Structure 1
């Protein structure tokens, strides 16, 4: 993960615009971690209690807008805490984006103490996410909070 962290830092420090940085991060994570089968960002949609899809890499999704509280992403928007789900079939409040998705990790992004968005990663494997994934993604989101 250290090499990947250095590569994401290079993207964050580059002179390209923010949306392109987010897209490049999605692509990098998708390409480099074989069990990251969908990588994307959701952001608070203005003053509404909902999330709006931002840059992502992976299969198209119908979940362009997610109400707070719905699914894993909506729960993170309310709880303000990382949610790592090793088997989505064990979650009652799961929004299925793909029949292939078996697990998901969602990490909030804070700016000035406010939850402004999140990174969402789906995997086609059960139980793939480790403490290293969580730590790496939380560090990345902390840096994104300073950038956004």
Structure 2
């Protein structure tokens, strides 16, 4: 099912729209198309600060518009530069709860020229739904996005 979204992702990325519009359309497409993607958003490094700033997203509003590096799942990915799949958010000590309905989370870093500039973050209200297929697909999304992101 995720593979069928790849051409749609490419189409959005290579359209003539503004970058933030493309990011928003990707969030919308993923949330609407994948049953276990309940909140989809992008966080980006906030200038030279050691923090992430919320970019386009779809799903429940969040108070977490700024996340310090190292804090929560997103903050940890900003430091580790590695995918982070959380099958059960309750089992994570360093977890920032966005909503009581969230059961699991996946975060995949976005690299431009080898530098981690941000990440795609997906929350799910389903326990342990994320597979290697989700990881590979989100890596694909970020690799495609990297082609249009300025450094």
Judge same fold: TM > 0.5, yes or no. Answer: yes
Q: How large is the Cα RMSD of the aligned pairs?
A: 0.6
TM value normalised by structure 1: 0.99
Corresponding residue number in structure 2 for 1:139: 140
SS at match of 1:46: coil
Take 1:117 and 1:147, find their aligned partners in 2: how far apart are those partners? 14
Aligned length in residues: 148
Q: Any residues of structure 2 matched to 1:57-136 within 5 Å, and which?
A: 57-136=58-137
Give the aligned partner of residue 26 of structure 2. Answer: 25
In 1, the alpha carbon distance for the partners of 2:90 and 2:60 equals 20
CA-CA distance at 1:142 after TM superposition: 1.2
What TM-score, normalized to structure 2?
0.97
User: What's 1:41 paired with?
Assistant: 42
What's the CA shift for 1:18? 0.5
Return the offset for 1:143.
Answer: 1.4
Which range moved further: 28-37 or 1-10?
A: 1-10
Runs of 5+ consecutive residues of structure 1 not aligned to the other structure? none
Deviation per CA, 1:42-81, whole angstroms, max 9, x where unpaired? Answer: 0000000000000000000000000000000000000000
**Shift, 1:2, TM fit:** 1.6
Alpha-carbon shift at residue 125 of structure 1 (Å):
0.7
Q: Distance in 1 between matches of 2:122 and 2:113?
A: 24
Q: Which moved more, 1:137-146 or 1:27-36?
A: 137-146
* SS of equivalent residue, structure 1 residue 147: coil
List gaps (5 residues or longer) in structure 2.
none
The 2-side partners of 1:94 and 1:36 are apart by 18
Runs of 4+ in structure 1 deviating by more than 3 angstroms, as ranges, are none
